Structure 1
Amino acid sequence: QELEGAAHGVFGMRWHSTSLILSIFSVSPCVDISICDIEIHQDVDNLSLPHTRSALLGPCSQRSAVLALGTDTITRVWDLQTKSCTRELAIDINEIKEKSWGPDGKRIATWSRSDGKVRVWEVRTGTCMKELEGLDQGLLDVSWGQEEKTLACMYGSGIVRVWDVATGETLRSAQVCEYCSRARPVCQVQDERLVVFDGQDQIRTINLSGSYGCLQNLPKFENSFIDFYSTTGWCRKTNVIAISANSSVQLLDVRSLTVKKLQGPEEGVGELSWGPDGRRLAGVSGAWGRVWV
């Protein structure tokens, strides 16, 4: 189905239970949020939050409707159900990435461009729990492991670094792909291995237990549909990678190594977001202010 956004355009979207949270960024004077119930095809709630300089939407956790808005010095965490600010964090909002939130929403990982460090914060108290030695390179992707015991970061140079969050120990640091100017590379920590999609046609796995550094290349995908404007979304539940390609979306099944095509709007598809159950996929339409599900 196609959902109406707003004249200002769809800034971001996040799933929560059966609802798709559409975040419409108004230039002035506020950020408008429309909470749409996909089952009944209508908005169930709307709210406006203060718009601050350099404001940026952060992701919601799957268990609680939470988002982050902030500036270059303070990040405010909002509860969309109570429509109240629950916590102010001394974090530059630009250090928060799309998948920075831990799966349970209690912790958040940030990356500092100035010193390259990755910091793990406890959202409830606003305290920094751990500092991890990262790289002073552009951060592309973040992935939390099971029970938030490990954390992986993928950098623009194609290097992936994995840490033990409790001890701060670097479990693995490896060059997994070259810099990619096409679809954005993504990574996931799955069980005791790191799985990486290089943004072109290759999926690689690295063991994180026993024999470190065991790198396996899976058969390559056909990559003719990927272009510079492609975006990627990886569903942890189904292990399927979605890649936008002009007016279609390609689904790469990591387990079966098969490809499925979904036809999208003629205007093209931008940002992608998987629903919590892995059955629905939402994408921002190239048409201003619309979302396809």
Structure 2
Amino acid sequence: MKYREAWQKAAGLLEDSGLEEARLEAEILLRHTLGISRVQLHLELERELHPNKETAYFQTLKHRLEGVPSAYITGEKEFYGRTFQVDKRVLIPRPETEHLIEKALRIARSYESPYIADIGTGSGAIAITLALELKDAYVYATDISAEALEIARNNAAEYRLGKRLTFYRGDLLESLPEMVDILTANLPYVPTTETKLLKGEPLLALDGGADGLDIYRRLIPVLPGKLRPGGTALLEIGIHQSEVLAKYIKEYLPQAAVEISPDYAGIPRVVGITLPS
């Protein structure tokens, strides 16, 4: 069996199971099995697949068909042009979260040396990306999970960020050592009844309560304690949540400016909260 044939067969199996990006996932798993780059795979599509590699490849497909996310099988996920280590201890970074990054970068570049906090950092993808993109920024990253912080620290070590990125364990803002200019948060926002659709990922990183907003309801009232006057918090949300959350913000932070930004699919994705100066 040639590389091309194995890829096509695997893509068909994944497609039959209902996966939306079957061909891409089949490619990712094949490259992982072979230990080669995408360019190399496409140059060698007519090469014969060794029987041992064929067995290994279709074993990884079996795991994927059983509901294990591809990123957990390969142990990595690309985000904002960089690769991050992931496993079942952390949420897999999503493409839509790159919109949160873009918003944060635009705001941060108006500061000379911004202080930024990423709350519920998980794999550290947001915090690390911001630290790498903003050479004069100081970034704090917090998470309640010691296991998640282990992954985040491993990722930070790969990019050699040194003292510009510091990790703290704690619930929401309690462990932040000082006030910051910008706060990012991709906290659990999936309604409890929908978490079963996201098999394999940690429930702690997904479950946001009945309407998905329980944790944000805890965060919003305490923002002024750690966000400087004139500072902005950027919160990632899910579909049908923007109006409910905006109303809650106006109730607890009536002087704050609220901006809702859609992602590339047109879905309201980021809620910006700017405190009065």
TM-score normalized by structure 1? 0.30
Bigger radius of gyration: 2
Relative to total residues, which structure has the larger helix share, 1 or 2?
2
Relative to total residues, which structure has the larger strand share, 1 or 2?
1
Higher RCO (C-alpha under 8 Å, 6+ residues apart): 2
TM-score normalized by structure 2? 0.31
